[in-house]
């Protein structure tokens, strides 16, 4: 047994990957310069947040009056000058202003882009090219440049050239996500029995995460080839990748995935059930686990009931409905915690497939944030930000042994880093910056 | 060149017919996948889309239990569509790594690989003697991706977790749907897929770092934590303002208008994120004066609670009298965002998606013609591509054991006899199509 094996896996992994030692370790992307030109969209901000958490130097370029995305906030609330959406994704970035529609501004942008590794933009496809600072022009100055364009319809294809604006909701709608989400339509039209959007900005988050994925692929390719490239990301297509067997099932059997609420086409029980004081997820879909669950609810004979005796029988619509009722007759006698404890107690005596009875309390955000584990693991962090004060928000996702991510600061006001960045990269002093300010360039 | 239309330029740059003439971003990167169900397989799948050589190790016989998850019990040529979707471009082999000889085969594979992805319960690989601590001795450059429900060292690490566990516990479900209705799980495995995306981001970052330093590492990603990260302003709203975000149906609470509306013939997502787009929308509605109404004239007035509701009612009434196509056409003319709620059939026939390779029609050597979603991001110089779909358990045993590992016929037979390695059971979901005949 090697030395490191004296520790349990649990202790070893906490000690070697936990966020507590992050600042003592190197950052994976610390040699990269990123220019983020996101405009009126959260996707580019999410994309550059990922790179910034991993150590890239990200320069956020906003128009002199600030990115309109700073206003995207529930009921319009602003913390100082900035909405909560932007505040969540301003992390670790230097914030400068630049009017790229002004010829002087474009010149400044080009000299930054010449030495940048990555440019991220979310304008209407073709807008940057029209200003002569698109991929076509920038690659002539910097052949190592990775240029990421993020949008709903992408930068090529019949819909791209029609210049219909994209949006977060368009990403969700076009992807098919909304089609399969929500309660089935009842006999009468209702407000809620409709295709339903996902509550969060998943359309933008998916677009941004896939943007970072494309950029990192391109970066690895650049290490081999020395060449940059164009990374074109359609937010709608990103979510499509996650709509499981939607498309191939249609190809194979001609059937379209429907909206089923808590029922499921392929596995059951795999549902949320009502308890005395709330809801929990409950799944036990293989035969062995299902038998365990029937034992838990005190009806072991149901495992042999013809309606439920096989994987296949349990997934007919009728039988799913019947089973849901049976489960809730049991669960509504207990609190959520009692149901989950009862399941844990029984599966701890089982092994293998019979133990696959899986739960998960449906938590409100105010309950989620009380999970101590998530504080320990750095999922939630309280940070004393020099510009925006004490704030609590979501931290980076990865626990990594060599190059852990960091959350260094939350956000900066519009143009807060103009002096530092313009001086460091372009040698522009205070007087020059003042002049450019008067001319409306920065 | 400079005078060329931008979209002619991009059409050429990304032309789908040139993809196989271009290099691959992950060429030469080998991935060992020890995963079942969704979270792990999707992780490796996203690497395989861009040319990584993914070797998926399954338990001989039955294989990945995802093979038996099938919509309404439907199997296609003995294969489930649900299993197909997260297993493209992979080599499928059968090894029982719990047996000593199986563990040894795994170590030999790891020695010649770059990345390992696993999604067992935390500590399982370690218990079997093939955890990160052992494997990094075999290959110090190894990037070891550990996927789990709660994380390797969470106090809840021993609890089983599926996708919907993460939807439930992260708050994702609580902020989706309509107020006063029972919470719903989303119709897709969004926790698994989002977690997989974070795993891929970690892996690619670690790979970049390894190219510079030669050092590998372990990366620990949890489904639930991944969804928490994606809930945008939820946490700031809670901690700064004490507000527990409630579901808001089909309306965005932070942008107005941005909503799903019912039309005469279906549903459509509509948004106007700035004054210019909003004016366009008002013009399209034949109500240009509405853009000057003080309730709606600026972004901040539109997003206020009462005004947003009033605007939503006006928009809903308008949309109810229109078709989806009417509104999409108006969106193009007047410059606001609108797209109908689409389904698989729409995608299947969508010219735009086909031209972009987002809907990809290709021929699998075993199953024939397949239609699948193509690689996510479109890369101009090193594009992703679809080669094949999932295969029966152990279908590529011969390639991996004989060619890569150099085992002899006698060694292979001995390992088969000891049930250390193996192929499929005679079972739908695990076995080849009925009309398949081995060529060897």
Residue contact B370–A248, C-beta within 8 A? yes
3-state secondary structure of B370: strand
**Contact flag A156-B25 (C-beta cutoff 8 Å):** no
Question: What is the least distance, in Å, from the CA of A141 to any CA of chain B?
Answer: 15
Tell which residue, B144, B194, B420, has the closest CA to residue A394: B194
So what's the pLDDT on residue A3?
55
A221 contacts in chain B (CB < 8 Å):
23, 25, 379, 381-382
> In this complex, do B172 and A152 lie within 8 Å of one another by their Cβ atoms?
no
As a CATH number, domain B258-262+267-340 is: 3.30.1540.10
The pLDDT of residue A351 is 84
d(CA A247, CA A245): 6
Q: Is the ipTM of this complex over 0.90?
A: yes
With an 8 Å Cβ cutoff, are B212 and A311 in contact?
no
Query: What confidence category does residue A1 fall into, taking pLDDT thresholds of 50, 70 and 90?
Result: very low
Contact present, A82 and A413 (Cβ < 8 Å): yes
> Is B192 one of the annotated active-site residues of the chain?
yes
pLDDT tens, residue by residue, B310-360: 999 999 999 999 999 999 999 999 999 999 999 999 999 999 999 999 999
Residue A424 to chain B, least CA–CA distance (Å): 25
pLDDT tens figures, B131-169? 999 999 999 999 999 999 999 999 999 988 999 999 999
Cβ-based neighbours of A277, under 8 Å, separated by 6 or more = A335, A336
Residue A115 tokens, joined: 């030495």
Strand-pair category, A146-151 with A229-234: parallel
With contact defined as beta carbons under 8 Å apart, do B45 and B87 qualify?
yes
CATH topology of domain B6-230+366-417: Rossmann fold (3.40.50)
**Rg, C-alpha atoms of chain B:** 25
Q: What is the pLDDT averaged over residues A200-214? A: 98
Q: From the list B6, B25, B355, which residue is nearest A126 (CB)?
A: B6
Q: Exposed, middle or buried by CB within 10 Å (0-12, 13-18, 19+), for A189?
A: exposed
Chain B residues whose CB is inside 8 A of the A12 CB are 133
The answer on pLDDT for A138 being more than 70 is yes
Q: For B67, name the nearest residue in chain A, comparing CA atoms only.
A: A266
Q: Does residue A312 register a pLDDT over 90?
A: no
Which of A204, A289, A347, A368 would you mutate first to test chain B, the one with the most B CBs within 10 A?
A368
Contacts of A170 in chain B (CB under 8 A): 269, 271, 337-339
Interface contact flag, A237 B74, Cβ < 8 Å: no
**Chain A residues touching B277 at Cβ < 8 A:** 165
**pLDDT-derived band at B2, boundaries 50, 70, 90:** low
Question: pLDDT value at position B1?
Answer: 54
CB distance A406 to A53 below 8 Å: yes
Helix or strand (DSSP H, E) at A432: helix A430-438
- Choose among B139, B146, B142, B123: nearest CA to B35: B146
Q: Which of A229, A221, A307, A225 is nearest to A269 (CA)?
A: A307
Cis ω before B244 (30° cut-off from 0): no
The minimum CA-CA distance between B157 and chain A, rounded to whole Å, is: 9
A169, B260 contact by CB (below 8 A)? yes
Between A209, A245, A380, which is nearest B82 by CB? A245
> Does residue A2 register a pLDDT over 60?
no
The interaxial angle of helices A418-426 and A103-115, nearest 10 deg, is: 70
- pLDDT, one tens digit per residue, over B81-134 is 999 999 999 999 999 999 999 999 999 999 999 999 999 999 999 999 999 999
DSSP characters over B378-395: EESSS----------TTT
CB pair distance less than 8 Å for A28 and B209: yes
Whether the per-residue pLDDT at A252 is higher than 90: the answer is yes
**CB of B118 within 8 A of CB of B35?**
yes
Question: pLDDT value at position B437?
Answer: 81
Provide the residue ranges of all domains of chain B, joining segments of one domain with +: 6-230+366-417, 258-262+267-340
- Distance from the Cα of B410 to chain A's closest Cα (Å) equals 32
Average pLDDT (B397-417) is 97
Chain B residues near residue A75 by CB distance under 8 angstroms: 253-254, 303-305, 308
| Shortest CA distance from A280: residue in chain B | B168
Partner residue facing A9 (CB), from B123, B161, B194? B123
- Report the residue of chain A nearest B239, measured CA to CA: A392
Cβ B76–A211 below 8 Å, yes or no?
no
Does CATH place domain A270-363 in 3.30.1540.10? yes
Secondary structure class of B362 (helix, strand, coil): strand
Residues 6 or more apart in contact with residue A333 via CB below 8 angstroms = A276
Each residue's pLDDT tens digit, B164-218: 999 999 999 999 999 999 999 998 999 999 999 999 999 999 999 999 999 999 9
Residues pairing with A227 in the sheet? none
The CA distance from A12 to the nearest CA of chain B, in Å, is: 9
Q: Shortest CB distance from A374 goes to which of B70, B228, B355? A: B228
Percent helix, strand and coil across chain B, each rounded to 5?
40, 15, 45
Residue A225 has pLDDT above 50, yes or no: yes
Among B232, B304, B335, the strongest candidate for a mutation testing the A interface, having the largest count of A CBs within 10 A, is B232
> Which chain A residues are within 8 Å of B202, Cβ to Cβ?
397-398, 400
Average pLDDT (B393-397) is 98
Asked if pLDDT for residue A86 goes beyond 80, the answer is: yes
A9–B152 CB contact, under 8 Å? yes
**Considering only alpha carbons, which residue of chain A is nearest residue B74?**
A253
What confidence tier does A6 reach under pLDDT thresholds 50, 70, 90? Answer: confident
Return the pLDDT at B438: 73
Query: At residue A189, does pLDDT exceed 90?
Result: no
Q: What DSSP assignment string belongs to A166-206?
A: --HHHHHHHHTTGGGSSPPP-SS--SSSS----SS-HHHHH
Nearest chain B CA: its distance from A429 CA (Å): 35
Contact A195 B382 (CB under 8 A): no
Between the two ends of chain A, the Cα-to-Cα distance in Å is: 62
Report, as an integer, the average pLDDT of A381-390.
Answer: 97
What CATH class does A31-242+412-438 carry? alpha beta
Task: Find the catalytic residue in B96, B192, B220, B364.
Answer: B192
The closest CB to that of B217, out of A50, A279, A402, belongs to A402
Query: B154: nearest CA in chain A?
Result: A373
SS3 B424: strand
Mean of pLDDT values over B364-380: 97
Who contacts B438 (Cβ-Cβ below 8 Å, separation ≥6)? none
A192 chain-B contacts, CB cut-off 8 A = 177-178, 181, 249
- pLDDT bin (cut points 50, 70, 90) of residue B439 is low
Residue of B8, B22, B73 lying closest to B50 (CA atoms): B22
What's the average model confidence in pLDDT over A420-431?
Answer: 95
Are B236 and A392 inside 8 Å of each other by CB?
Answer: yes
Mean pLDDT of the residues in chain B: 96
Q: Count Cβ atoms below 10 Å from residue B212 Cβ, excluding itself.
A: 12
Other Cβ atoms less than 10 A from the Cβ of B400: the count is: 21
Q: Quote the minimal CA–CA distance from B417 to chain A in Å.
A: 24
- Distance CA(A441)–CA(A101), nearest Å, equals 9
Contact across the interface for A266 and B69, Cβ inside 8 Å: yes
Q: B interface mutation test: which of A167, A261, A349 has the most B CBs within 10 A?
A: A167
List the single best residue of B343, B367, B383 to mutate versus A (max A Cβ within 10 A): B343
Smallest Cβ distance to B50: which of A125, A217, A380?
A217
Share of chain A above pLDDT 70, in %: 99
Provide the mean pLDDT of chain A: 96
3-state helix, strand, coil in chain A (%, to 5): 45, 15, 40
> Which residue intervals of B143-189 are DSSP H helices?
163-169
CA-based nearest distance B366→chain A, Å: 15
Contacts of B309 (CB under 8 A, 6+ apart): none
Q: Residues 6 or more apart from B419 whose CB is under 8 A from it?
A: B60, B96, B99
Tell me what the mean pLDDT of segment A50-67 comes to: 98
Residues of A in contact with B142 (CB under 8 A): none
- Relative to beta strand B115-118, strand B143-148 is parallel
Closest in A177, A194, A237 to B376, CB measured: A237
Cβ burial, residue B151 (10 Å; 0-12/13-18/19+): buried
pLDDT in tens, A322-347: 999 999 999 999 999 999 999 999 99
Contacts A380 to B, Cβ<8 Å: 228, 235
Inspect the interface and report whether the beta carbons of B178 and A223 lie closer than 8 Å.
Answer: no
- Determine the Cα–Cα distance for residues A221 and B54; give it in Å rounded to an integer: 18
Q: How far apart are the C-alpha atoms of A370 and A374, rounded to whole Å?
A: 8
Q: Are the CB atoms for B382 and A218 separated by under 8 Å?
A: yes
Please tell me the distance from the alpha carbon of residue B215 to that of residue B437, in angstroms, as a whole number.
45
- Domain ranges (residues) in chain A: 31-242+412-438, 270-363
Say yes or no to pLDDT of A364 above 70.
yes
Q: How many CB pairs under 8 A join A and B?
A: 610
Distance from CA of A416 to the nearest CA of B (A): 22
Please state the φ and ψ torsions of residue B39, each to the nearest 5 degrees: -55, -50
Contacts of A5 in chain B (CB under 8 A): 133
Measured CA angle at A271 (ends A270, A276), to 5 deg: 135
Average pLDDT over residues A359-372: 97
What is the rounded (10 degree) CA torsion for B49, B50, B51, B52? Answer: -80
Cβ partners under 8 Å of residue A308, min gap 6: A290, A294, A302, A314, A319, A323
Of B6, B153, B233, the CB nearest to A88: B233
Helix, strand, or coil (residue B264):
coil
Per-residue pLDDT, A5: 73
pLDDT digits (tens, 9 = 90+) for B3-38: 899 999 999 999 999 999 999 999 999 999 999 999
């Amino acid at each position: 047994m090697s030395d490191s094996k004296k520790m349990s896996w649990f202790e070893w992994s906490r000690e070697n990957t936990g966020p507590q030692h992050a600042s003592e370790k190197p950052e994976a992307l610390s040699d990269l310069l990123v220019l983020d030109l996101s405009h009126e969209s959260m996707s580019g901000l999410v994309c550059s947040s990922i790179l910034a958490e991993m150590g890239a130097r990200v320069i956020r370029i906003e128009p002199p009056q600030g990115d309109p995305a700073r206003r995207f906030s529930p009921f319009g609330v602003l913390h100082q000058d900035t909405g909560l959406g932007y505040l969540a994704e301003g992390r670790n970035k230097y914030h400068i202003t630049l009017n790229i529609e002004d010829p002087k501004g474009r010149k400044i942008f080009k000299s930054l882009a010449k030495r940048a590794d990555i440019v991220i933009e979310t304008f209407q496809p073709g807008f940057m090219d029209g200003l002569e600072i698109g991929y076509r022009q920038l690659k002539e100055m910097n052949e190592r440049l990775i240029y990421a364009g993020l949008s709903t319809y992408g930068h090529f294809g019949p819909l791209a050239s029609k210049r219909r604006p994209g949006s977060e909701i368009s990403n969700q709608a076009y992807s098919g996500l909304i089609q399969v989400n929500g309660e089935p339509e009842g006999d009468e039209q209702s407000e809620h029995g409709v295709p339903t959007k996902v509550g969060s900005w998943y359309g933008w988050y998916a677009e941004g995460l896939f943007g970072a994925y494309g950029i990192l692929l391109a970066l690895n390719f650049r290490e081999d080839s020395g060449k940059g490239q164009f990374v074109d990301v359609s937010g709608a297509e990103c979510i499509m990748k996650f709509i499981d067997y939607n498309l191939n099932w249609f190809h194979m059997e001609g059937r379209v995935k429907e909206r089923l609420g808590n029922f499921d086409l392929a596995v059951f029980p795999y549902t949320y059930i009502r308890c005395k004081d709330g809801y929990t997820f409950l799944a036990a879909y293989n035969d062995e686990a299902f038998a365990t669950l029937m034992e838990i609810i005190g009806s072991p004979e149901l495992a042999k009931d013809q309606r439920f005796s096989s994987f296949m029988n349990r997934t007919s619509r009728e039988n799913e409905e019947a089973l849901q009722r049976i489960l809730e007759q049991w669960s509504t006698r207990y609190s959520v915690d009692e149901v989950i404890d009862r399941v844990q107690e029984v599966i701890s005596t089982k092994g293998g497939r019979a133990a696959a009875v899986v739960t998960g309390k449906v938590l409100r955000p105010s309950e989620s944030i009380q999970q101590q584990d998530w504080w320990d693991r750095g999922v939630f962090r309280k940070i004393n930000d020099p510009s925006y004060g004490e704030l609590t928000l979501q931290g980076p996702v990865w626990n990594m042994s060599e190059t852990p991510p960091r959350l260094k600061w939350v956000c900066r006001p519009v143009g807060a880093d103009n002096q530092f960045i313009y001086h460091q990269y372009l040698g522009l002093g205070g007087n020059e910056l003042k002049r450019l300010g008067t001319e409306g360039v920065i | 060149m400079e005078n060329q239309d931008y979209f002619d330029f991009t059409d050429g740059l990304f032309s789908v017919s040139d993809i196989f003439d271009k290099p691959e971003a992950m060429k030469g990167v080998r991935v060992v996948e020890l995963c079942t169900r969704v979270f792990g397989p999707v992780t490796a799948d996203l690497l395989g889309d861009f040319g990584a050589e993914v070797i998926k190790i399954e338990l001989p016989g039955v294989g990945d239990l995802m093979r038996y998850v099938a919509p309404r019990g439907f199997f296609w040529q003995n294969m489930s569509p649900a299993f197909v979707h997260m297993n493209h471009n992979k080599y499928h082999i059968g090894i029982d790594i719990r047996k000593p000889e199986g563990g040894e085969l795994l170590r030999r594979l790891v020695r010649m690989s770059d990345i390992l992805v696993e999604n067992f319960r935390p500590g399982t690989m370690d218990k079997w003697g093939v955890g990160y601590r052992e494997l990094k001795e075999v290959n110090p450059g190894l990037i070891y991706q550990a996927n789990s429900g709660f994380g390797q060292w969470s106090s809840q690490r021993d609890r089983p977790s599926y996708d919907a566990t993460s939807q439930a516990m992260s708050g994702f479900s609580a902020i989706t749907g309509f107020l006063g209705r029972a919470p719903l799980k989303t119709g897709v495995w969004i926790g698994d897929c989002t977690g997989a995306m974070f795993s891929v981001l970690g892996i690619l970052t670690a790979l970049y770092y390894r190219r510079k330093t030669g050092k590998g590492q372990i990366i620990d990603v949890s489904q639930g934590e991944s969804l928490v990260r994606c809930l945008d302003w939820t946490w700031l709203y809670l901690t700064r303002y004490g507000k527990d975000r409630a579901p808001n149906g089909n309306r965005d609470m932070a942008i107005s208008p941005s909503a799903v509306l019912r039309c005469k013939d279906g549903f459509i997502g509509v948004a106007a994120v700035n004054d210019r787009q909003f004016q366009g929308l008002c013009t399209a509605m034949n109500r240009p004066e509405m853009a000057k109404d003080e309730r709606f004239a600026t972004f901040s007035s539109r997003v206020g609670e009462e005004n947003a509701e009033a605007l939503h009612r006006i928009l809903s009434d308008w949309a109810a009298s229109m078709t989806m196509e009417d509104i999409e056409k108006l969106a193009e003319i007047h410059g606001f965002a609108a797209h109908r709620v689409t389904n698989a059939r729409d995608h299947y026939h969508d010219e735009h998606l086909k031209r972009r390779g987002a809907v990809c029609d290709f021929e699998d050597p075993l199953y024939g013609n397949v239609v699948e979603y193509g690689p996510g991001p479109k890369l101009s110089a090193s594009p992703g591509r679809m080669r094949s779909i999932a295969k029966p358990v152990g279908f590529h045993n011969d390639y991996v054991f004989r060619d890569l590992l150099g085992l002899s016929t006698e060694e292979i037979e001995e390992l088969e006899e000891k049930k250390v390695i193996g192929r499929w059971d005679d079972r739908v979901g695990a076995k080849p199509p009925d009309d398949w005949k081995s060529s060897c």
